[in-house]
Amino acid sequence: MPEGVLIITGGGRGIGAATALLGASRGLSVCIAYRSNAGAAESVVQKITQGGGKALAVAADISRDEEIVRLFESVDSALGPLTGLVNNAGIIERQMRVEEMDGQRLSRVFATNVFGSFICAREATRRMSTRLGGKGGAIVNVSSAASRLGSPNEYVDYAAAKAAIDTFTVGLAKEVAADGIRVNAVRPGVIYTDIHARAGEPNRVDRVKSSVPMQRGGNAEEVAAAILWLLSAEASYVTGAILDVAGGR
């Protein structure tokens, strides 16, 4: 996919920002969707435009259907026909055991991590499906190694949400394969991003990296490279795949 239009949810920081910068460097026009940190998103846009690329930032709460619809309509107007979606936006709550969790926390976690990804994929499919008049495209969902490991004593709810994303990836891939859309996922392991600080343990990667066979945490650029490969024509016969980017963990 050397040219095209890409939406990245949660694109202002971490893996999303790294993906936006790498995608733009390869000729993609990029929409960076963000929930609240306009400064971070605009900073990524500025880096892209200063390098000669095309990008815009759009505020959108991925837990709200109407804001997702507005996001996609904004991209239709500003950048043109969509060719790719990276479902990267995700939230994590403070570490705790399941016995301590309440329903409001669970609603927040699943609304963004699962329901938002479904609605974004719905809007992308409506635009890209050859059966519906589109020209095809690719979707990459950002899962987590937590979906395999369960994250006991920390955030089983987040792990369960990401397990739902794994199943969603496989099912949607089969559903739209004949419509010219490939759907895959990356499953990052422990990566140096600020998500750990939001969970209450900013140094978590350094604490657990000894359990990783490669004996280190990963960086956002390593995950971004995997995402861009799955979006590209080099992965033209790959759909329904879940690619672990987790140092062997």
Q: Which residues are catalytic?
A: 158
Please state, in angstroms and rounded to a whole number, the distance separating the CA atoms of residues 145 and 158: 11
String of b and e for 148-174 (b: at least 16 CB within 10 Å)? beebeebbbbbbbbbbbbbebbbebbe
Contacts of 30 (CB under 8 A, 6+ apart): 5, 6, 7, 8, 11, 20, 23, 24, 48, 53, 54, 55, 56
Residue 38 CA: distances (Å) to CA of 6, 33, 59:
19, 10, 7
